[in-house]
Amino acid sequence: MFRFVILVVGGLALLAGNLLLFVLRFLPPPNNYYWLAPPAILAAGLWLLTRGWGKWVPVGLWAITLVIAFGLNGLIWPAVPTTRPLLSGVPGQGTTDGESLAARPVPDGHKVALKVTERFRRGPFVEPRFLTVPRGFSVDLFAAGLDKPRFMTFDEHSTLYVSLPRSGKIMALPDRDRDGIADRVVTFAEGLDLPHGLAWDKGWLVVAETGRLLRLRDRDLDLSADESEVLTRDLPAGDGHWTRTVVVGRDGSYFVSAGSSCNVCLEKDSRRASITRFNPEGGEGTLFSRGLRNSVGLAVHPATGELWGSDNGRDLLGDELPPEEINLIVEGGDYGWPFCYGDGEPDPDFGSPQRCAGTLPPTVKMQAHSAPLGIAFGAGSNFPEPYRSMLFVAFHGSWNRTVPTGYKLVGIPFSDGRPVGPVTDFATGWLAGATAWGRPVAPIIGPDGALYLSDDRSGAVYRITYEGMESPR
């Protein structure tokens, strides 16, 4: 009886494995690792059916099954080239075959020692740290010891607020003596659900949780929120890319980005991989743009009022594909994901030339797997040109590339509201060989004209200044 059960189970496993191979041919999964399931099931069935034949027979049959599965995988998901001639990082500029979208080195860059006050000299800052920035710039440690800090904003009193999503907190970092170092770290709000994006609007701190949009207020100015309102619950919560970013548009609307729930798939929720516009009074949102896999960074151009966003491309297409993107976000725009990437290139899982014909290409393409997160325009800084007109982009850095890339802050020159030059390194040094001691997350220009940058690996906020700059405070 037992032998009969083994034979039945083994036969059903073989049937299920072959059926799954057939089904996967017509139902592309979120990523190509799903092809491992059929050979695993087939191997289990073979082992059950042949376990009395000696130990080497099942091993041999298992190896044959894996070879067959590899071959079928090539039919189900045709091979995708890992490299191809890449297009320029700025529209209108040609390139040669093999030219990379990697950022150009820091112009006239020089290595500077990170200035660390004694009370921050612990953890990753026990040993001296060095960064490379353009000549004339310096970098100070504004705050340290934070639990994976992400996005930031300033209030009208020049107090910096930073989100700690994993702790469910928002911290206030005042610098009352204006010495360029946070006086203390104060818990402004806690008990939140993955708070990420922050924006200051008319006395309120607007907070994008993973499934809600809130606003908090500190009436007695003790750096602790004492009033809270839920503006909307019309956000997709959790799953995959859980971060939500919020910016205030020129018309007062709140724009909130929500990433996809997967690497590449057909979303059932239209609020995923999109940007939604909300009335500042709250309520349901209106879909503003779509086809944006994970636009973590949003910024409003200070002169034109146009919305710009960074976008993280999909994984599993090799080291050089697809390019990361900077997009001019327009109402009703379709930016392609999951059907296309780059300049209308069909995705191997879901794309077709016909579907990609009407999608919007990126305004700027950047090195694949750089993981661009926060972005900020340099207007309001006390930097010299061209830095004052740049769009600064924080590269969080790769986790899925043969040679690591990213882990730095880059700049894109703008003029008349449009990019006019290549992506250029602005601050580097967090990546040492194949090891990164820091991961930049989000830049922001402070009221003092300095650039502040969060780092969720070292738990820090940096302050980048230009020598001889005058504070607008």
| Residue boundaries of the structural domains of the chain | 2-76, 109-466
d(CA 397, CA 113) in angstroms, rounded, equals: 22
**Does the pLDDT of residue 26 top 50, yes or no?**
no
Rounded CA separation 28/265 (Å): 8
Report whether pLDDT(33) > 90: no
pLDDT tens across 203-213, in order?
A: 999 999 999 99
Tens of pLDDT, residue by residue over 229-288, are 999 999 999 889 999 999 999 999 999 999 999 999 999 999 999 999 999 999 999 999
pLDDT score of 473: 45
Q: Which residue has the higher pLDDT, 232 or 104?
A: 232
Q: HSE-up of 96 (CA within 13 Å, CB side)?
A: 0
Cα separation, 145 vs 459, whole angstroms: 5
Helix extents (H) in 204-363: 353-356
CB of 142 closer than 8 Å to CB of 186: no
Length of the chain: 473
Cα separation, 460 vs 439, whole angstroms: 10
Q: Give residues with Cβ within 8 angstroms of 115, minimum separation 6.
A: 138, 139, 140, 141
Q: What is the pLDDT of residue 56?
A: 66
pLDDT-derived band of residue 25, with 50, 70 and 90 as boundaries?
very low
The arithmetic mean of pLDDT across residues 127-155, rounded, is 98
Q: Identify residue 134 by its one-letter amino acid code.
A: P
375 in Cβ contact with 299 (< 8 Å)? yes
Q: Is the pLDDT of residue 81 over 50?
A: no
How far is the C-alpha of 3 from the C-alpha of 5, rounded, in Å? 5
Note every long-range contact of 204-210, with CB atoms under 8 Å and residues 24 or more positions apart, other chains counting: 205/153, 205/155, 205/161, 205/170, 206/231, 206/246, 206/248, 206/254, 207/163, 207/170, 207/246, 208/235, 208/244, 208/245, 208/246, 208/256, 209/235, 209/244, 210/235, 210/237, 210/238, 210/242, 210/243, 210/244
CATH architecture of 109-466: 6 Propeller (2.120)
pLDDT tens digits for range 305-352: 999 999 999 999 999 999 999 999 999 999 999 999 999 999 999 999
Contact 388, 378 (CB under 8 A): yes
Residue 358 in this model has a pLDDT that exceeds 70: yes
Return the residue matching tokens 């609007």: 201
Name the band, by pLDDT with cuts 50, 70 and 90, for residue 8.
low
The pLDDT tens digits of the residues spanning 373-404 come to: 999 999 999 999 999 999 999 999 999 899 99
229 sits in which H/E element: strand 227-232
Label residue 80 exposed, middle or buried (CB < 10 Å: 0-12, 13-18, 19+).
middle
Helix (H, G, I), strand (E, B) or coil at 209: coil
Q: Which residues pair with 329 in a beta bridge?
A: 307
Distance CA 10, CA 8 (A): 5
pTM of the model: 0.81
- Please give the structure tokens belonging to residue 321: 């594909």
